[in-house]
Amino acid sequence: MISGGGTGGHIYPAIAIANAWMEKHPDTEILFVGAEGKMEMQKVPEAGYKIEGLKVAGLQRSLSLANVSFPFKLASSLRKSRQLLADFKPNAVVGVGGYASGPLLFVAQNKGIPTLIQEQNSYAGLTNKLLSKRARRICVAYPGMEEFFPKDRIQVTGNPVRKDILDLKGKSEMAKFHFGLQPDKKVLLILGGSLGARTINQAVLADMVGFEESGYQLLWQCGKYYFQEMSQKVMGSGLKHVYLMEFIREMDLAYAAADVVVSRAGALSVSELSIVGKPVIFIPSPNVAEDHQTKNAMAYVKEIAAVLLKDNHAVGQLKKEVDQLMADESKMDLLSENIKKLARPDAANRIVSALEEIIA
């Protein structure tokens, strides 16, 4: 059983682990467990796996009426977790983080079922920290995670990513054709996550006329929450080289088309960008626990593998950063070369090996 979710940063690694396991053990039955109403309830079935939903919700860190229902949702989720474990009888349970993984792994650990935790970020989430005390193995993407987890159970594996991005050779021309891009113009790929990032969208809106005047074309994933608003503003701008999308499914082609990428610094984005090896400007979200996106990004900036632009400086400064990078091919090459050194393309298989060890 694999549990967790809430964002693409949790869901896609979980699916990558499942896919890698099924390649080695095709007769296995896998059941996902997520949170009702969250994106995993759609994305997991699309990937070909069954999923059960829990009524679990996160505990708000500030005073909120939503916290009143938290104990009841937790109790319901624990009851359903017990029933799912009794019915499915898993050999092991994997938690990929997010509050959806809490009840299932807690019950599994009480029953003595082997559990493995996969932590994507350089700063561990609360759920994973609590569950780590009884987990058999903790797979992490960054060194130095002894601050959060028992040292003897940590294994540095990297973050599992979608298989289609592992090799982008020869895809650039096809990618530009697929998205309707001009073959002779530089491509700036803008990513703010599946739901969108307000600051990144506002920064692009502020500079999109200038980007076109500089000869760039934008492949822009603005996210579900902002698509209608951004569509109206792009349509009213008269610009010809802004290619706006709510969500990009063919990420391998998007990466292949890009000359420079602007992205949040969530764990999945950072791991994917390491593998594709494109020059990247990270704009970390400040609205995450313990500012972990900035910590993710700084791990790369220290290795001269990425550029960091603070969220509160993005509106008004994004074009300056893009122009400086696009004009400096030697820096683009250096960033590309250095970020590839930090890639772990075999992460999913390493996690499968760790899982095999705790089951044996």
Binding-site entries for UDP-N-acetyl-alpha-D-glucosamine: 7-9, 121, 162, 194, 248, 267-272, 293
Beta strands in 192-337 (DSSP E): 216-221, 242-245, 260-263, 280-282, 307-308
Query: In terms of Cα–Cα distance, which of 9, 19, 83 is closest to 46?
Result: 19
For residue 320, give Cα distances in angstroms to 269, 301, 309.
23, 18, 11
Binding-site entries: 7-9, 121, 162, 194, 248, 267-272, 293
The pairing of beta strand 93-95 with beta strand 2-3:
parallel
Query: In terms of Cα–Cα distance, which of 223, 224, 222, 244 is closest to 235?
Result: 244
Q: Using CA atoms, how far apart are residues 308 and 285, in angstroms rounded to an integer?
A: 12
- Beta-bridge partner residues of 263: 191, 282
CB 280 within 8 A of CB 301: no
Side chain identity, residue 181: L
CB 257 within 8 A of CB 181: yes
Instruction: Specify the DSSP element, H or E, that contains 142.
Output: none
Query: In terms of Cα–Cα distance, which of 142, 146, 179, 155 is closest to 270?
Result: 142
